[in-house]
Structure 1
Amino acid sequence: MSNNNIFMKSGFVRAPLQNGVGRYVCQLQRIVLKFCKTHGGSRGIREFIEQDMVEFAKENPGVVMYLKPRRHRSPVIVAEYLNGDRVWMNMHNKTHSEITKWIELLRTQQGDVSSTRLRKYQYTDHPSIQGPWTPWTFKNPELNTVKFPDAKLGSNDRLPMSATEQLRLMFERQKLSESDRELPTAE
Structure 2
Amino acid sequence: MSNSSLFLPSTFPRAPIQNGLGRYLNQLQRITFKFCKSHGSSKGMRDFIENDLIEFAKANAGVVVYVKPRRHRAPVMVAEYLNGERHWMSCRGQSNEEIKKWVDLMRGQNANSSSVRLRKMWHTDKPSIQGPWTPFTHKNPELNFAVFPDQKLSQPMDVGQTATEKLMEIFKQQKISDQSLDSKQAE
For the aligned pair, the TM-score class normalised by the smaller chain equals: 0.5 to 0.7
Shift of 1:63: 0.8
Is the CA contact 1:33–1:66 (under 8 Å) kept in the aligned structure 2? Answer: yes
Aligned to 2:69: 69
Letter aligned with residue 162 of structure 2: L
Q: Matched residue of 1:32: which SS?
A: strand
Give the equivalent residue in structure 1 for 2:175. Answer: none
Comparing 16-25 and 74-83, the one that deviates more: 16-25
Aligned equivalent of 2:81: 81
Q: CA distance change for structure 1 residues 26 and 3 in 2, over 3 Å: closer, same or farther?
A: same
Provide closer, same or farther for how the CA distance between residues 50 and 118 of structure 1 changes in structure 2, counting only shifts above 3 A: same
User: Post-superposition shift, 1:156?
Assistant: 4.5
Q: Number of paired residues?
A: 144
Deviation of residue 8 (structure 1)? 2.8
Partner of 1:59: 59
- Cα shift readout 1:151-186 (whole Å, capped 9, x = no counterpart): x33764845xxxxxxxxxxxxxxxxxxxxxxxxxxx
Q: Which moved more, 1:107-116 or 1:48-57?
A: 107-116
1:153 aligns with 2:162: yes
Superposition CA RMSD, Å: 3.1
Segments of structure 1 that go 5 or more residues without pairing to the other structure are 135-146, 160-187
- Give TM-score scaled by structure 1 length: 0.64
Larger of the two Rg values belongs to structure: 1
Which whole-Å CA distance do the structure 2 matches of 1:43 and 1:73 have between them? Answer: 12
Report the CA distance shift for 1:49/1:87 in structure 2 as closer, same or farther (over 3 A): same
In 2, are the aligned partners of 1:80 and 1:86 still within 8 Å (CA)? yes
Name the TM-score, length of structure 2 as normaliser: 0.64
Identical aligned residues as a percent = 51
